[in-house]
Amino acid sequence: MSTIIDIKKVLSNLGIDTTNQGSSTGKNWLNSSGEEISSFSPVDGELLAKVVSADAATYEEVISQASEAFKSWTQVPAPKRGEIVRQIGEELRLHKEDLGSLVSYEMGKSYQEGLGEVQEMIDICDFAVGLSRQLYGLTMHSERPGHRMYEQYHPLGIVGIISAFNFPVAVWAWNTMLAWVCGDVCVWKPSEKTPITAVACQNIIQKVFERNSLPEGISGLLIGDYKIGELMTADKRVPLVSATGSIRMGKKVGEAVGKRLGRALLELGGNNAIIVTENADLEIALTAAVFGAVGTAGQRCTSTRRLIVHENIFDQVKQKLVNAYGQLRIGDPLDENNHVGPLIDQDAVKSYLTAIDKIKEEGGKIVIEGEVLSGDKYVSGCYVKPAIYEVENDFQIVQDETFAPILYLIKYTSVEEAIALQNDVPQGLSSAIMTTNMRESELFLSQAGSDCGIANVNIGTSGAEIGGAFGGEKETGGGRESGSDAWKVYMRRQTNTINYSKELPLAQGIKFDL
């Protein structure tokens, strides 16, 4: 077990009793007949804890509790709901180090990234508190005398949240905190690869609910595999399902929710590129590229997959990358001296190796060869070497997303060609251009430029601030979470017309005399 932290103490501080596995998951799990899920850390292969997954009966209980809780929660004024979220943010501040450590140990990302993920949760709480006083509608002038028109927003009801392992807590918070101030209740199905962090979050927020005499059903937790997700996506009692994960999973969710004419908020795969022009500041460009490619071991939806480099500086950039990769330290992510931690599990390692085989089959040239690392330092078998290959953009493997630290180098001649290459993949999440030339940057941000939901200049593809709406286009799903006006997806819009005159004039001057 990692010697950097006392994981048993961390779990105890977060209300997780590893001596009585499953009991910490809340009363909804005590009578479940579901299978036991064991969470093994990719850091060292050690068993972290066990939980009992939800079954169909448990699902019904959780949804029923959520439906009942919605009746009272929706009647709480929005600023008062914001006050509850403020208290949750304060509770997260108190548990930041423990929760950040658990995120790092269960998922495998660096300790600093684990802390950063919890900080994102705190930040979205702060954002949501202010939002609770700004759920604005619009007023319009009516064409009929003595009439007033306006729009307002009402909560939807139950919001189902399906989250992925790579951000085991932050993406849930992005959805939940906004949904709560909007008056919705939430039911969360976390990744079965990172269930313990979900239990820890539930323990933290339930303290706040109990102190404020609020029903447990405002926040439901359903740990399990895809079968729980299928129950949620088919359930008409869940008007909105927000799902983060692979494109394959997202298509299934979108189809199931669409069949019942529900709403789906989809945050799916990315195949993100950085364009490096002749006019780039190479120090900034290389820092962004390396962090984007190897941060979280390449397991972010915004990870940099492709580096599209001008032909005149291609060899120079390639050599600088080789030098930078030679300085990477791979190992226990809780050791802050290391840059790269493990992949999430053996299935991810297999995907990494399969991708490397396909790169070679399609004619990719080795810049830095990938391999699985072995030895006492890498006892879990989940550590791999960040790799770089020179490829063509139309290779099938390049068109697909591989959730691993593999970076593709692609050469271009004109900025128009570079933008076309950047756009010529099925996904459309994050993109960036490195340039000090205003014309290049403005072209990249124009209608003729990047087709992604996120387009950056002189910063990388990886990561995003909570103040802006997060999401992408094409097979990334079109969803938007976090900041800006993303809150509107968690509410239903209603147009209201009030007649305060003594007559009933009809619109467009229609006459209907009785």
Residues known to be catalytic: 267, 301
Nearest to 197 by CA among 213, 178, 233, 173: 173
Contact 215, 180 (CB under 8 A): no
Question: What are residue 456's DSSP bridge partners?
Answer: 432
The phi and psi torsions of 276 (rounded to 5 degrees) equal -110, 110
The phi and psi torsions of 24 (rounded to 5 degrees) equal -80, -5
d(CA 319, CA 314): 9
Nearest to 402 by CA among 358, 452, 432: 358
H, E, C per residue of 113-133? HHHHHHHHHHHHHHHHHHHCC
Q: Which two tokens stand for residue 469?
A: 């709406």
Q: Which two tokens stand for residue 169?
A: 């807590």
Nearest to 409 by CA among 272, 313, 305, 328: 305
Q: Edge to edge, what strands does the sheet with 185-189 contain?
A: 219-221, 185-189, 158-162, 240-244, 263-267
Q: Give me the helix-helix angle, 111-131 and 96-107, nearest 10°.
A: 130
Contact 134, 119 (CB under 8 A): no
Residues 6+ apart with CB under 8 A from 88: 125, 177, 204, 205, 208
Residues 6+ apart with CB under 8 A from 421: 273, 306, 308, 393, 410, 412
C-alpha atoms less than 13 angstroms from C-alpha of 499 in its C-beta half-sphere = 8
3-state secondary structure of 342: coil
d(CA 213, CA 442): 53
